Structures are given as structure tokens and as C-alpha cells.
């Protein structure tokens, strides 16, 4: 399998890192071995969510610069077997080129069922590097115009990079807020604007935010985790309907 998936959004704060972690946990729970790579250079965050911040000696920039072997920059989650992290550098000083990063990922991916890459917001060079090794992409958007504008930009960029397997994740969805906002007739219109097929509709669920403070250990059952289980199955190729449990 060895699939490499980049998670992107254009606009910041749509929930990319949250989707990366929750999807990875769901894949691990389905007996997959997952490497998460934090490519948000200078804004590292996944180490906190995986409770490994104290362990990190080397990051992906060290691995590409030869300061360590690639495997030495991979850290196992304390809470879940089969979940591994390569952290982003703390500072954004050392820009990693797409070619060098692709080479690193092509070496690492042999040892995992999935490599999930968290990308920085925007369509700049950091995103180009994050997307460079990807076989497929998830665009994370919220159902509002500013976020969708970012989703369209990022989809076009991904298409430029010849990534054709692109799916949409609508995150932090609340029917009540969506109706109040009254920007779109229905979710079909949101999907049409984004121009990518929907693979998951994740409800607004504050329990998901617990992973920010408590790490994956704090991720108990919630409506959103059920949706991530369904997303993981769909990523695995199971032909199952979209799950949505929310308001
Ligand atoms: N489904 C959800 N329900 C409720 N809150 C959510 C959900 N998804 C994400 N959040 C919250 O939204 C905020 C932004 O999430 P996150 O950091 O994952 O976004 P991001 O796209 O990675 O941001 P950045 O562009 O800064 O990297 C966080 O506080 C997170 O807990
Ligand atoms: Mg993030």
C-alpha cells in the first residue's frame, strides 16, 4: 500500500492538523501502521498532540540535512503502537526543497502502510514541499466562503502538481451555523464550489479539541471520532456511505 497523503487547506485554522491526527488514530485502530510528518516548518504542533514533545531530538530538517539517519528522526507515539511522528523543525530557517523531501519520504514510506503529511496554510513553498511526495490529497475546508476560496486555490495547485486523487473534508460543520450563515443553499453547493468529491463531513465537536491539550490519549469516543473511523475506511478503499453524526 505505502500511500502518501497530504492534508492541505489554503486558509489557516480549518483543522488540517486535527484531521491528520484523528485520521491517523483511526487508521491505526484499523491495524495500519502510520507515519505522520509535520511539514508545518516553524509552527510545529503535532509533537504536542502525540505527547512526544519531550522526546524530539531530530526533526525532518535534520533528516534531510544528514544530521541524523531518517529513522532517527521518527518517534513512536506513547499511547498507540503503530503511530509514528516525524516533527517539523522549530524554526523555519532551513527551507526543505520538494526534491529532497520527496526522496526522504520515498525511503521512509516502505516501512508504513500510510504516510500522512500535515502541510502549512497557504500555497507557498512550504506547501509545495509538503505536497511533493503525495499520491493523494485531502483538502480540509469549513463551509464558509473564505475557507472555500482557499480550498479552490489549493485544489488548483494540487492539480498543477499532477495529484489527481483529491478529496474534500468539510470540517467543523454545524447545521445550525450553516443555516444561520446562509451563504450556500446546501452542502452540494459547497462541494461544487470546492470542485472536489466529498469524503468526510466532520461535525463541530469540542471533544476533538481535547487532543490539543491532552494528546491522543484524550481522544475518547465522540461523534467526530466516528466520522474519522468512516473516513479511514473510505481511505482504505471500503465502499461505505458517508457518516455524519451531528446537529
Ligand atoms: N471538528 C472540530 N470541531 C471542533 N473544533 C475543531 C474541529 N477541528 C478542529 N478544531 C479546532 O480548530 C482549531 C484549529 O484546528 P487545527 O490547528 O487543526 O487547524 P490547522 O488547519 O492545522 O491550523 P493551521 O493552519 O494554523 O496549521 C483548533 O482549536 C482545533 O481544536
Ligand atoms: Mg496545523
What's the mean pLDDT in 204-209?
Answer: 83
Say what the pLDDT of residue 206 is.
83
Whole-number Å distance between alpha carbons of 160 and 150: 15
Residues whose CB is under 5 A from ligand 2 (ion)? 16-17
Ligand 1 centre to CA of 88 (Å) is 18
Ligand 2 centre to CA of 108 (Å) is 22
Cβ 39 under 6 angstroms from ligand 1: no
Domains of the chain in sequence order? 3-235 (3.40.50.300)
Say what the pLDDT of residue 78 is.
82
Say what the pLDDT of residue 224 is.
78
Q: Which is nearest to 84 in space by CA: 17, 131, 130, 38? A: 38
Say what the pLDDT of residue 79 is.
80
Say what the pLDDT of residue 199 is.
96
> pLDDT tens, 27-48?
999 999 999 999 988 788 888 8
Ligand 1 centre to CA of 209 (Å) is 7
Residue 122 CA: which ligand is closest?
Answer: 1
Identify the residue whose cell numbers are 529532497. Answer: 100
Ligand 1 centre to CA of 174 (Å) is 14
> pLDDT tens, 79-137?
888 999 999 988 777 778 999 999 999 999 999 999 999 999 998 989 999 999 999 99
Largest Cα–Cα separation, the chain: 53
Please, what is the Cα angle at 166 between 108 and 116, to 5 degrees? 25
Beta 114-118 vs 165-173: how paired, if at all?
unpaired
Say what the pLDDT of residue 80 is.
86
Whole-number Å distance between alpha carbons of 163 and 155: 9
Q: Is the pLDDT of residue 3 over 90?
A: yes
In this structure, what are the phi and psi dihedrals at residue 173, rounded to the nearest 5 degrees? -85, 130
Whole-number Å distance between alpha carbons of 169 and 143: 10
Q: Which is nearest to 91 in space by CA: 68, 117, 67, 62? A: 62
Q: Is the pLDDT of residue 180 over 70?
A: yes
Percent share of the chain, pLDDT over 70: 93
Residue 11 CA: which ligand is closest?
Answer: 1
Cβ 16 under 6 angstroms from ligand 1: yes
Report the atom number in ligand 1 closest to the C-alpha of 206: 4
What's the mean pLDDT in 206-232?
Answer: 75
Report the atom number in ligand 1 closest to the C-alpha of 118: 22
Give the residue, 218 or 57, on which the prediction is more confident.
57
Grid cell at residue 67:
544530521
Residue 172 CA: which ligand is closest?
Answer: 1
Say what the pLDDT of residue 39 is.
93
Helices 187-194 and 145-160 cross at an angle (nearest 10°) of 40
Q: Is the pLDDT of residue 182 over 90?
A: yes
Cβ 174 under 6 angstroms from ligand 1: no
Whole-number Å distance between alpha carbons of 152 and 38: 23
Average pLDDT, the chain: 91
Q: Is the pLDDT of residue 218 over 60?
A: no
> pLDDT tens, 128-169?
999 999 999 999 999 999 999 999 999 999 999 999 999 999
Choose one of 8, 14, 15, 21 to mutate for the ligand 1 pocket test, by most ligand atoms within 8 angstroms of C-beta: 15
DSSP secondary structure letter of residue 13: T
Residue 16 CA: which ligand is closest?
Answer: 1
Say what the pLDDT of residue 202 is.
93
Ligand 2 centre to CA of 135 (Å) is 20
3-state secondary structure of 35: strand
Grid cell at residue 73:
528522526
Confidence (pTM) = 0.95
Amino acid at each position: 500500500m505505502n500511500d502518501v497523503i497530504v492534508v492541505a487547506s489554503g486558509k489557516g485554522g480549518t483543522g488540517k492538523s486535527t484531521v491528520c491526527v484523528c485520521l491517523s488514530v483511526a487508521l491505526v485502530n484499523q491495524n495500519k501502521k502510520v507515519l505522520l510528518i509535520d511539514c508545518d516548518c516553524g509552527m510545529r504542533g503535532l509533537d504536542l498532540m502525540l505527547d512526544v514533545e519531550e522526546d524530539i531530538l531530530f526533526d525532518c530538517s535534520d533528516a534531510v540535512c544528514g544530521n541524523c539517519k531518517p529513522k532517527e528522526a521518527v518517534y513512536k507515539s506513547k499511547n498507540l503502537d503503530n503511530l509514528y511522528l516525524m516533527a517539523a523543525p522549530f524554526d523555519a530557517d532551513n527551507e526543505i526543497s520538494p526534491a529532497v523531501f520527496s526522496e526522504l519520504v520515498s525511503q521512509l514510506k516502505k516501512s508504513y502502510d500510510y504516510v500522512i503529511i500535515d502541510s502549512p496554510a497557504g500555497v507557498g513553498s512550504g506547501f509545495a514541499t509538503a505536497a511533493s511526495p503525495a499520491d493523494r490529497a485531502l483538502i480540509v475546508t469549513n463551509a464558509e466562503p473564505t475557507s472555500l476560496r482557499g480550498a479552490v486555490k489549493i485544489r488548483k495547485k494540487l492539480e498543477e502538481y499532477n495529484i489527481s486523487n483529491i478529496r474534500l473534508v468539510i470540517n467543523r460543520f454545524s447545521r445550525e451555523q450553516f443555516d444561520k450563515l446562509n451563504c450556500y443553499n446546501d452542502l452540494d453547493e459547497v462541494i461544487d464550489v470546492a470542485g472536489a468529491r466529498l469524503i468526510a463531513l466532520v461535525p463541530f465537536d469540542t471533544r476533538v479539541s481535547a487532543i490539543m491539550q491532552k494528546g491522543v490519549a484524550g481522544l475518547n469516543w465522540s461523534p467526530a471520532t466516528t466520522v474519522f473511523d468512516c473516513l479511514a475506511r473510505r481511505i482504505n478503499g471500503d465502499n461505505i456511505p458517508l457518516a455524519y453524526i451531528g446537529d
